[in-house]
Amino acid sequence: MIELGKAKRQAIQSICQDSEEVLVRGAMEGTMGRVFVPKLQNSSYCLIHAGDFDYLLGLPPSGGEGALNLKSLIYEICSGDFITPGDERWAAWLEEEFQGQYRTVTRYALKKDENHFDRAVLEGYKKNIPEGIRIRKIDERLYQLTLKEEWSRDFCVNFEDAAQFMRDGLGFVAMKGREIVAGCSAYGYSSGMMEVEVGTRKDYRRQGLALACSAAFLLECLDRGIYPNWDAANEQSVGLAEKLGYVFHREYQVYQLLDTESEE
């Protein structure tokens, strides 16, 4: 498999152009992620790796060296990630190639429609925070601070540096003194869209902090003409999204490779 540099991502445009996934489109546009193809010209499929998510798109290889090379690459870079098959053919390919070595995980897609948001409601959530908590927009200093703790790393980790985040990203955090205790930020981005990442430190949960940060993030996105895409990992995340105005769309299945070595 060949990795495409960011300047050569036009090679996968025909494979990915119909995708509505923020991370796929960002990879195609050359703004983020890693892209692998079996050949430089006229590839029939690709693997996109962005953060903890991987996407298989195009036509699956039908055996031979191509399938072996792709399988080897998936073992190498996708361990523990959420692998999203582009369609039923890819789902069947994964299940055949990795028999007994994967588990399926349910995720929850929300509808992509900004008309569901009520600005007045979002403003109310943004202001409804406990005494002593401040909501702050992520700047270069806060960018660095998010990366210092494991629970908050995903707020900014998919950007190359603070300069890229300030240029292309966006995020808000809840501060208690000098500590970040919750936040909502861009996990990834593409033209006109951002993928939402939200989280709260364990000892500050159930105080409305994720809701307040998310409301601030959504309001800023709407002001900029950016759609904040919310893809939920669990029903609790769906509930938070629905409070903000999102409407549930569907459940879907992704795949995760098992750590077979540690189980032996």
Query: Residue 81 maps to which CATH number?
Result: 3.40.630.110
Question: Distance (Å, rounded) from C-alpha 67 to C-alpha 192?
Answer: 35
What pTM does this model have? 0.93
Q: Give the pair of three-digit tokens for residue 200.
A: 């709260």
The CA–CA distances, whole Å, from 70 to 64, 65, 77, 114, 243 equal 10, 9, 11, 37, 41
The strands making up 179-190's β-sheet, listed across from edge to edge, are 133-137, 171-176, 179-190, 193-200, 227-229
Print the domain residue range for 240: 117-244
**Sole residue written with tokens 């007994």:** 100
Q: Are residues 142 and 101 in the same domain?
A: no
Distance CA 16, CA 19 (A): 6
Both 213 and 159 in one domain: the answer is yes
Does residue 233 share a domain with residue 176? yes
> Do 137 and 194 belong together in one domain?
yes
Residues 141 and 163 in one domain: yes
pLDDT tens string, the chain, 264 residues long: the values are 999 999 999 999 999 999 999 999 999 999 999 999 999 999 999 999 999 999 999 999 988 899 999 999 999 999 999 999 999 999 999 999 999 999 999 999 999 998 999 999 999 999 999 999 999 999 999 999 999 999 999 999 999 999 999 999 999 999 999 999 999 999 999 999 999 999 999 999 999 999 999 999 999 999 999 999 999 999 999 999 999 999 999 999 999 999 754 333
**Contact by Cβ (8 Å): 219, 122:** yes
Q: Are residues 83 and 21 in the same domain?
A: yes
* Residue 262 domain flag: no
Q: Which residues of 57-70 are buried (b: 16+ CB within 10 A; e: fewer)?
A: bbebbeeeebbeeb
Give the number of domains in the chain. 2
Residue 260 lies in a domain: no
Q: Is residue 264 part of a domain?
A: no
Is the same domain home to 132 and 228? yes
Q: Is 19 helix (H, G, I), strand (E, B) or coil?
A: coil
